[in-house]
Structure 1
Amino acid sequence: MFRSLLSVKKPVQQQSLLKTSVRMIRTFNQEEQPRIRINSLAPNFTADSTQGKLNLHEYLGNSWGVLFSHPADFTPVCTTELGAFAKLKPDFDKRNVKLIGLSAEEVDKHQTWIKDIEEISALDKFSFPIIGDSSREVAFLYDMVDEEGFKNLSNGIVATIRSVYVIDPSKKVRLIITYPASVGRNSSEVLRVIDALQKGDSKGVVTPINWQVGDDVIIPPTVSDAAAKEKFGDFNTVKPYLRYTKA
């Protein structure tokens, strides 16, 4: 980590120059990077966003969250993604999920980009925050880049700052997906996995391949037949370790 040169008060113009130089000399060391795994605590941070200063844990409160990131503003794939998530915001709201975007540029530029997103996706209003991460601090904190991108994290556009993190109300990371720069995300899949996670948490079940709301669920092998009968009622045994029941 570096020690900020801004700790000593300077004239505004000089502070601006120093801030630029600090960003240029910032070095990112893998030894200092948190290791984020499923069920690890989501690293907290405070950053500027298009809706003001945002502290991740405080913003989420008792809600679930989806933090999804982008390498730069005015990029074609990311523009379509943000528009798609914005259209689905009412569906995320129903599931008690807050959306948080991130792009590795300044908030002022995000505000201009939002106008394009609204126009292209025919939105009345873009209504969730996009974090400004021009310093790449959050990208580093959440390990959002590929191997080559990490080497260039301090300078220039970095590909593959395109990750999705689903965070539950206890602030644990429950899902991580990182996409290459050339592949657009599937917003419906993010909704699907949130449904599956919430179903599993509330009912003590797991979900099979391609599960959708209304489909049968699987009773975990750790639950005995007697306990399964008491808890779920009827169930269908395909194999001793594969038992289906109604959700």
Structure 2
Amino acid sequence: MEQTSITSMPRIGDKAPDFEANTTTGHLRFSEYNKGSWVILFSHPADFTPVCTTELSGFAQEQEEFFAKHNTKLIGLSIDSIHSHIAWVQNVREKTGVYFKFPIIADIDMKVAKLYGMLQPGESETAAVRAVFIIDPEGIIRLIMYYPLNVGRNMEEIKRVLVALQTASENQVSLPLNWQPGDKVIVPPPKNLEALDERVNSDLEMVDFYLAKKNL
């Protein structure tokens, strides 16, 4: 597969770059893993490091809920060997009882990290930043987050935006500041005068004609 340069980074709305990789659960092709489900693809700088251990433990503890409630699979990545990954998974299981069952890509040649823009030279040329890609069942990138090497991610926010993306897609709505599941959603603005009149006479919560909310 042709490698993409570090400066070529996928964007929201792009088709997620496909790849094949060796992982802790075996060899996989990403497009097959993604088929029919949402995927959270996330990178960490290195195995056997403290912040990464807390983060992957957090993902592992939420893995069953992600899949059962939100049809979402997890897949991790770092620029470490498969042997390092396996040793780390076992070490964390022995020390804490948390088991990383999701696949972790052994990206020792940095192919996938470069493909997804996870290497950012201003931060490090040899370690992937803490990237998060949320990809829908059609293989489209719906959200990208980047964190620096020394700051851990917020699991509650990752879960919130996943549910928000799924809610927006399923209901063709938008979501306001600080939206949480169960909150009112924003309906699309009217596209013609007839729709405007319908809105003005509706039972929507109207801030103004262009900002109206409803319960799902």
Alignment TM-score, normalising by the size of structure 1:
0.78
Whether the 8 Å CA contact 1:219–1:228 is kept in 2: the answer is: no
Whether the 8 Å CA contact 1:80–1:121 is kept in 2: the answer is: no
Instruction: Give the aligned partner of residue 109 of structure 1.
Output: 84
Structure 1 residue 105: deviation in Å? 0.4
Task: Report the structure number with the largest CA radius of gyration.
Answer: 1
Instruction: Give the aligned partner of residue 170 of structure 2.
Output: 202
The structure with the largest strand share of the pair is: 2
Instruction: Give the aligned partner of residue 237 of structure 1.
Output: 206
Question: In the aligned structure 1, how far is the partner of 2:96 from the partner of 2:214?
Answer: 40
Whether the 8 Å CA contact 1:82–1:117 is kept in 2: the answer is: no
Question: In the aligned structure 2, how far is the partner of 1:28 from the partner of 1:148?
Answer: 18
Among 17, 27, 31, the alignment partner of 1:53 is: 27
Whether the 8 Å CA contact 2:174–2:187 is kept in 1: the answer is: yes
Structure 1 residue 122: deviation in Å? 3.1
The structure with the largest helix share of the pair is: 1
Structure 1 residue 35: deviation in Å? 3.7
Which residue identity is paired with 2:129? I
Greater relative contact order (Cα < 8 A, sep 6+): 2
Q: Give deviations 1:96-145, integer Å, cap 9, x for gaps.
A: 0000011110111101101233245432x321110100111111000012
Whether the 8 Å CA contact 1:80–1:117 is kept in 2: the answer is: no
Number of positions where the alignment pairs a residue of Structure 1 with one of Structure 2:
212
Q: Give deviations 1:15-36, integer Å, cap 9, x for gaps.
A: xxxxxxxxxxxx9745xx6441
Name stretches of at least 5 consecutive residues in structure 2 with no aligned partner: none
**Aligned pair in 2 of structure 1 residues 52, 209: CA closer, same or farther (>3 Å)?**
same
Among 118, 135, 138, the alignment partner of 1:170 is: 138
Runs of 4+ in 1 over 6 A off after TM superposition: none
For the aligned residue pairs, the C-alpha RMSD in angstroms reads 2.4
Is 2:40 aligned against 1:66?
yes
Over the matched positions of the two proteins, sequence identity in percent amounts to: 42
Name stretches of at least 5 consecutive residues in structure 1 with no aligned partner: 3-26
